[in-house]
Amino acid sequence: MNDAALPDRLQALIDERVFNFAQAAQRHFKTNDLVVLLDFRAETPELEALPRQALAEAQELSLEVKLKLARPASALSPVFGAPEQAFWFVVIHKDEDADCGAISAAVQGAPFADKLSGQG
């Protein structure tokens, strides 16, 4: 399995808002080891950020997601080929299925790099 490949439903949700939210959360928590979460089961789905370790131990996540979250997204930098902003993005869909992927500003953020805060 290629860790850099993202499920289509996850890829479709990635835009500059996700990256800007992650950057703000990294400044707030003073760490780059974060998970950005979007739960469509909520009445009003909103982006949330949590330290990776706290979410990796969550009871409601599948074993597959927990295994992915066992290491920081930045640990995949050799896969991404760049040491830039990296974070986990977890989306829980209304059908209760969850997608999880390591997101890199250098890879997934390239199409809208000019819209990212602190860039350009």
Q: For the residues of 82-116, what is the DSSP string, one character each? A: --S-EEEEEEE-TTS-EEEEEEETTTTTGGGGGGS
Read off the pLDDT band of 1 (50, 70, 90).
very low
How do residues 37-77 score in pLDDT, each as one tens digit? 999 999 999 999 999 988 877 777 888 888 889 888 888 75
Higher pLDDT, 30 or 77: 30
The alpha carbon of 4 is separated from its chain's Cα centroid by a whole number of angstroms, namely: 12
Residue 51's H or E segment, with its range, is: strand 47-51
Higher pLDDT, 24 or 59: 24
Q: Residues of the chain with pLDDT > 90: what percent?
A: 37
Give me the pLDDT at residue 77, please.
Answer: 59
Give me the pLDDT at residue 49, please.
Answer: 95
Name residue, tokens 């974070």.
87
pLDDT higher than 80, residue 91: yes
